Structure formats: structure tokens, C-alpha cells
Amino acid sequence: MSAPRWRLAPGLIFGRAALAIYLVIMVLWLTFPVVLVLLASFQGTLEVSWPAPVSFDAYKTIPPSYWEAFWFTIRAALLATGIALLVAIPAAWAMVRGRLAGRRVMSNLVLIPDVVPQLILGIALLTVFIPLRLSNSFAGVMLALVALSLSTGLRFTEALLEGLPDEYEQAAQSLGADKLTAFRLVVLPLIAPGVAIAALFIFMQNLITFELLFFISGPSATPIAIRLFSDIIDRGIVPYAVAMAGILVYVAIAFYTLVAVSLGPKYMAGSVMSRKG
């Protein structure tokens, strides 16, 4: 399946037609995976036929182990997001307002889990987790997610705090508030909306993390992405797996709706751009 290349078109009509074809092809390309997965999930088979009767069998036969994995992932992602932000916000405040020496170095250090390829970090974690008996455990998965979330979280919060003018805290201090009170009454409420959005993004990022967790997961600690992966390796594709994939699509759509509704589409382009692939 190849698409026409973008060419300098001499005639306007030809150019317009080429543009229209290009747009259609691009939209098709961008949507086909999600569409195929959803269609297949409602057909209960491993192939997509058109037309076909709608059947919920695939969804109904999702085994408990899949749901376990799903809720495991949700729990780990939620907890990791919460812990990461709880740690990142004071750290970012200290870095931005405290004017500490070596702030650049600290900032970059915490970015390491984001910069290093997940595959490598996952392998590295395996070496450390085995003796600590953290592999194949909720705690281990959560720790790995916290490290990753911390990078993203710190980046977000640092940007939020840098965007907040010094003057608010200075005004609060001049009015009698000590630094902590100023932080509580002025800084936190003003960065709260930004933090909420960051939490959403970090949560989703945690939900779909794969390579980082692959090596340290196990039978008792299986994120849903890894469960879907290993089943397809071991058993090949099964209808209920496609259904579970469909469920993940619904979660993604719900997330997008939440963010778009609270932010407005224009902001989406900016924030989407700043996240890594």
C-alpha cells in the first residue's frame, strides 16, 4: 500500500485533486488500525469482513486473567502517577524558586529515565530487581513507572512553575505569609489545573508503557500490554484479545475527550508535540 508522493503540481485543478487524494489517504492511514481493531472486536473473529453481523462474543469471553491484568495496570498507573507528582511538585518548586547551585544538573538527572531508551532501562532494571526480589511484583512495576513518571512530571511541573511569575509569592510574603504558606495558598491553586492535565498525560503514559516493564513483569505482575503481547506470541491472535484491545481503545478515546474538553483543541497540538513518541 503506497501513497502518492507530494509533487509540485502545475495546474490548480490537478493540484487540488492531488491534495484531496492525499488527505483521504492520510486520514485512512491514520485511522485504519483503530477501525480494524474495533470492527474485529465486534465481529468476534480474527478477520474483518464487510458486512458482518455484530457480535459481542469476543467481549463476553474476555478471561479473568485479562481483567486482572487490566486492573493491575490501572492501579499501578494511578499509584505511580500520584507518587510521581507528590515528589515532583516540591522538587520542581525547590529547583525553580530555590536558586540552587547545580539545578541544571539535577534537572537533567531526573530526565534520564525519559531519555534512555525504555528497552535499555528495562534490561538494567532486571539486573537490579532480581536480587532485590522486585521482579514479578506490583512494587517493582510501580517503582519503574514512578521513575518514568517522575521525568515527565518534573518536566511538566518545572514548566508550570517557571510560567508562574515570582511576584505572586513575593506579594504573599510581603503580606505576611512564610514560604510554605505562600506555596500552599497561592502557588498550588494556580498550578493545579496544569498539574491535573499533567496527571492525565502521565497516567496514560503509564498505562501503555511496554518495553520498560517487559523484563521485570511476570505471572503475578502482568500489565495488560504485556499480557496482550505474550498471548499473541504464545497462542497467536485470539478474538477476546482483540476485544481487550478494543477496550484499550475506548480508554484512549475517553482520555482524549477529557483533555480536549478541559483544554480546548488548540492547546492539544502544543502539548502533544512536547511528549515523546
Partner 1 sequence: MTDMIDTHSSGRSAPDVQDHGRRVSRRRLRREKLFYRLLTLPALTIVGLVAIVPLLLLLVGSLREQRSGLFTLDNYVNTLSNGFFMRTLATTIVMAGGVTAISILMALPLAYLLARRTLLRNIVMPIITVPRMLPFVVIGYAMILLLAPMTGVANKVLMGLGILQQPAFILFDWPGQAIAFAYNGIVVATAVLTGVLMSVDPQLEDAAVSMGASKVRAFFAVTVPLATPGIIAASALIFTSVVTAYAIPVMLNGRVPYMVSLLISANLLTLQQQNLAYAQAIIVSVLALGVTTIGQVVLSRYGQRGGDK
Partner 2 sequence: MNISNNAAQPVHIDRVRKTFGEFVAVRELSLDIAAGEFVTFLGPSGCGKSTTLKMLSGLLPQDSGEIRFGNKRIDMLPANKRNIGLVFQNYALFPHMSVAENIAFGLRMRGWNRASKEKRVEELLQLVRLEGLGGRKPEQLSGGQQQRVAVARALAFNPDLVLLDEPLSNLDAKLREQVRLDLRDIQRRANQTTIFVTHDQVEALVMSDRIVLMNRGGVEQVGTPYELYATPATEFGARFVGANNLLAGKLDVESGTPQARLGPEMVLPISTHALDVSKSGIDIWYCVRPEHVAVRPGKDGAIFVGRVLDKIYQGTTVLVDLDVQGLGTIRAERPALEVGNVTVGADVGVNIERSHAVARLS
Distance CA 164, CA 171 (A): 13
| CA-to-CA separations, 80 to 122, 127, 223, 234, in angstroms, rounded | 16, 21, 13, 29
Answer with the entry of partner 2, partner 1, none that 131 interacts with (C-beta below 5 to 8 A by kind).
none
Stretch that binds partner 2, among 112-120, 172-180, 236-244, 247-255 (CB under 8 A): 172-180
Q: Which triple of cell numbers denotes residue 126? A: 532486571
Considering only 181, 220, 230, 274, the residue that binds partner 2 (CB under 8 A) is 181
SS3 of the chain: helix, strand, coil, percent, to 5:
75, 0, 25
Least distance to partner 1, CB of residue 33, Å: 3
Minimum CB separation of residue 256 from partner 1 in Å reads 5
Whole-number minimum distance, CB 56 to partner 1, in Å? 18
CB atoms within 10 A of CB 133: 10
Question: Position 47: which residue type?
Answer: E
Kindly tell me which residue out of 90, 98, 163, 165 binds partner 2, with binding defined by CB under 8 A: 165
- What, of partner 2, partner 1, none, does residue 273 touch, CB below 5 to 8 Å by kind? partner 1
C-beta of 101: minimal distance to partner 1 in Å? 9
Among 10, 13, 51, 167, binds partner 2 (CB under 8 A): 167
Q: Does 176 bind partner 2 (CB under 8 A)?
A: yes
Rounded CA Rg of the chain = 23
| Among partner 2, partner 1, none, partner that 21 touches (CB below 5 to 8 angstroms by kind) | none
- Return the closest-CA partner of residue 194 out of 155, 238, 157: 157
